[in-house]
């Protein structure tokens, strides 16, 4: 299984995805919490693309959906100018429904593919399966993604090309065998979704 994330566009040094299991003494998975406000970026929008309807455009949403062999989603994140010279760590935080205190759908063995796009580009009003952002580097294959874990997908220099403006990083998530649907969230329970921590 290959990862095609949004992080690839960050121009970060590739690293293996690291799953971390829940700690009985904590409400959230190990490493499944966020740093203080201003030290991380949350997904700004998800755009669905469909292999079966390759020319259909879907409007942006904060709900992401993957279906086996068809729907994928593209995640956009906006890195601030304050990320210049810093390290960016892309994470997928995937608490259980009880930990997240919200509903989501997950069914299947958890095999996903993340594909990175070029730094500075993301999905927009013209994006379809047949019209995706320019390709960029992708991280290595991760382990299966399962509820109750936090995954570090990518970590390295933020690689901001223009310090005078925000930088879009993006990537797509697809699967041949797993259904996933969730809404990006920072609460009221454990955070759920894609985040970039800046340090």
91-130: b (≥16 Cβ within 10 Å) or e: bbbbbbbebbebebebebebbbbbbbbbbbbbbbeebbbe
Round to whole Å and give the CA distance between 198 and 83: 7
Round to whole Å and give the CA distance between 9 and 107: 28
Structure tokens at 22: 């829940």
CB atoms within 10 A of CB 4: 22
pLDDT digits (tens, 9 = 90+) for 50-84: 999 999 999 999 999 999 999 999 999 999 999 99
3-state DSSP assignment of residue 138: coil
Q: What is the pLDDT of residue 73?
A: 97
Q: What is the pLDDT of residue 62?
A: 94
Q: What is the pLDDT of residue 161?
A: 86
Q: What is the pLDDT of residue 160?
A: 87
Find all residues with CB under 8 Å of 7, minimum gap 6, and list them. Answer: 88, 90, 114, 116, 139, 153, 154, 169, 171, 196
Residue that is written with structure tokens 């829940």 in the block = 22
Q: What is the pLDDT of residue 141?
A: 63
Q: What is the pLDDT of residue 3?
A: 33
Q: Burial, 161: exposed, middle or buried (Cβ in 10 Å; 0-12, 13-18, 19+)?
A: exposed
Q: Report the C-alpha dihedral over residues 140, 174, 122, 5, rounded to 10 degrees.
A: -20
Q: What is the pLDDT of residue 24?
A: 40
> Could you state, in chain order, the average pLDDT of each consecutive group of 10 residues for the chain (199 residues)?
35 41 63 92 96 97 97 95 92 96 96 89 95 85 86 87 89 95 94 96
CB atoms within 10 A of CB 197: 18
Whole-structure pTM value? 0.84
């Amino acid at each position: 299984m290959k990862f095609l994330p949004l992080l690839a566009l960050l121009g970060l040094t590739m690293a293996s995805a690291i799953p971390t299991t829940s700690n009985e003494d904590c409400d959230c998975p190990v490493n499944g919490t966020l740093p203080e406000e201003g030290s991380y970026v949350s997904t700004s929008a998800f755009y669905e693309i469909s292999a079966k309807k390759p020319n259909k455009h879907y409007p942006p949403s904060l709900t992401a959906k993957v279906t086996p062999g068809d729907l994928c989603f593209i995640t956009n994140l906006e890195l601030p100018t304050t990320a210049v010279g810093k390290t960016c760590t892309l994470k997928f935080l995937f608490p259980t429904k009880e930990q997240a205190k919200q509903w989501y759908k997950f069914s299947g063995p958890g095999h996903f593919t993340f594909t990175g796009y070029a730094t500075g580009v993301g999905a927009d009003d013209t994006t379809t399966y047949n019209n995706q952002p320019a390709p960029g580097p992708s991280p290595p294959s991760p382990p299966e993604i399962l509820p109750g874990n936090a995954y570090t997908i990518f970590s390295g220099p933020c690689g901001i090309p223009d310090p005078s403006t925000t930088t879009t990083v993006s990537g797509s998530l697809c699967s041949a065998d797993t259904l996933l649907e969730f809404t990006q969230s920072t609460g009221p329970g454990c955070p759920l979704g894609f985040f970039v921590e800046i340090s």
